[in-house]
Structure formats: structure tokens, C-alpha cells
Structure 1
Amino acid sequence: MRFRRAEKSEEPEINLIPLIDVVLVIIIFLMLTTTFTKTGGLEINLPTAASSDAATVSNEIVVAITAAGDVIINQQPVADRRIEALAAALGKAVPSGQQNPVVVISADAKAAHQSVIDVMQAAQRAGLAHITFATQLTSP
């Protein structure tokens, strides 16, 4: 009797290509479904002046804040620093016949942040919605 020898069975091997496909699909899924949260705060883009010619606007109210916290509206000092007094002074500084004047705040670098906030609140109470900040030209 002739016995057949058992044929050699193939060695088991692990096919990595399907494993790589599954991992890539999982990575793509995570990238698409992940949300990034922003921290609560203000985004501030600091302005830069590109040209040396400053545009002049006829209906603007210039508010200067000194390092000591003194407020000067259209070159007229305001004695009282309270928000109500600043709002009244801003209301009087509105050019006659002009609608929606622009409030230009020019604060000293060492001025208290609270002084700037007070001027912004006073402008809001006076009904002035357009507020901008003066910039200084950067030296080349």
C-alpha cells in the first residue's frame, strides 16, 4: 500500500494591506469629525499703516487719552472721567448735520485699559456706533 505523504501546507502569513487601509480610513474619519474649540476671548488683528498719506474724514470725532487717563475730545479737555460725562461730551462733539460720525480713539501706550473702555462705553451711550483706533506709521 502506498501512502501519500501529506503535502506541505503553506505557512500562514499576515496580509498588511487591508490593515493599512482600515487604519487610513479611521484616520480620515477622525480628521473629518474632529472639531476644534476656540478659547473664549477676543480676536484682535492689530492694524498696520501701509501708506504715509492719512485719509481725513470730515465727520470724525477725535478722542485722545493721555497716559494719566485724561480724556480730550476734539482738542477740548473733559474734566469729568465718568462715563455719563464722557457720553455728554461726545454727544456735543457730533458735527451738526452729520450722521454716523466716526469716533477715532488715540490712546497713549501707557494709558490704562479702563480709560479706553470707558470712552467706548460712552460712545455707545451717546449713540455713536462707529469706533476706530488711531495707528502710528511703522518705520521701514
Structure 2
Amino acid sequence: MKLQQEEHEEPEINLTSLIDVVFLLLIFFMVSTTFERQALLRLDLPEASTAEAETVPEIVEFIVTDDGRLFVGDQELVDARQATVQAAIAQRFRDNPEAVLVVRADGEAPHRLVVRVLDSAAAEGIRRVSIATVEGDSE
């Protein structure tokens, strides 16, 4: 008995129908997808202006020392009461209401005095305030 060996044919996978299905799915997802643009953070960005239009504002410096003395520019205030601080700020901002208040406080200055200056500025309606600290000498 003679057995014949059959030749085995390699199986083929027809990719044409698979590619058709993938393209149909791609088209389906592209058509059915909605793109929604949501702004989660609203930013008001400044706009550029010419150098001629910009003027450098006057700076009013309010200094709080580590021992509790208060200075407006080079002049020392007589006391640290709220009324005195507010009157000194009002006098400086009477002529130029667009000036910038810079509160310079020593690193060891009493916090209540810095807050008193900031409260007085708020009571006078000053909106442009900057805070700076001066570190004491490290020994």
C-alpha cells in the first residue's frame, strides 16, 4: 500500500475585508465625535502699548522698622496709631492718586503695623500696593 503525501496548502488570510471594516469604524468615529471647547480658566491678558503712552508712576514708600517706627519717605510718623497712618497716606496720595504705595517692612517688624498700613491704604481707596521685606543682618 502506497500512501500518497498530500501537499498542504498554506492558509491565507484575506485582509481586504478587515481593512474595509477598520475604515468604516474610523469614519463612524470621526462623524460621531463632537469636539467641545470649554474654557476652564478665564485670563485677561495685558495688551502691548507704545512706550510713549506709558508713564512711570510715582512711588510712595512706607517703611516699618524692626523696633516699630514708621516712616513715609524720609519723614518719621509721630506715632503708630491708625488715624496717624491713614492721614499720612492720604496726604501723600492727595496730589497724585495714581501713585504706587510700597510698604517696606523689616523681617522682624511687628506684623500688626504692616497690617495697619495696608488697612489704612485700603481705607483711602489705594489699589496699587506692593509689599517688600528687608532682611535684618544675620549674626
**TM-score normalised by the chain length of structure 1:** 0.51
Query: How far, CA to CA, are the matches of 2:63 and 2:79 in structure 1?
Result: 14
The offset of 1:129, in angstroms, is: 1.6
For 2:105, the aligned partner's letter is: A
The offset of 1:58, in angstroms, is: 4.3
RMSD: 2.1
User: Corresponding residue for 2:129?
Assistant: 131
Gaps of 5+ in 1: 1-56
**What secondary structure is seen at the aligned counterpart in 1 of 2:130?**
strand
Please tell me whether the aligned partners of residues 88 and 126 of structure 1 are also in contact (alpha carbons under 8 angstroms). Answer: no
Gaps of 5+ in 2: 1-55, 135-139
> Over residues 94-123 of structure 1, what are the superposed CA-to-partner deviations in whole Å (9 max), with x where a residue is unaligned?
262x23221101100100111100010111
User: Corresponding residue for 1:107?
Assistant: 105
Counterparts in 2 of 1:78-89, with a 5 A limit? 78-89=77-88
Q: 1:95 to 1:75 in 2, by over 3 A?
A: farther
For 1:79, the aligned partner's letter is: V
Q: 1 or 2 for the larger relative contact order (CA 8 Å, sep ≥6)?
A: 1
125-134 or 84-93: bigger deviation: 125-134
Runs ≥4 in structure 1, deviation > 4 angstroms?
none
**Based on CA coordinates, which of the two structures has the bigger radius of gyration?**
2
Query: How far, CA to CA, are the matches of 2:129 and 2:110 in structure 1?
Result: 18
User: Corresponding residue for 2:120?
Assistant: 122
Aligned length: 80
Please tell me whether the aligned partners of residues 64 and 105 of structure 1 are also in contact (alpha carbons under 8 angstroms). Answer: yes
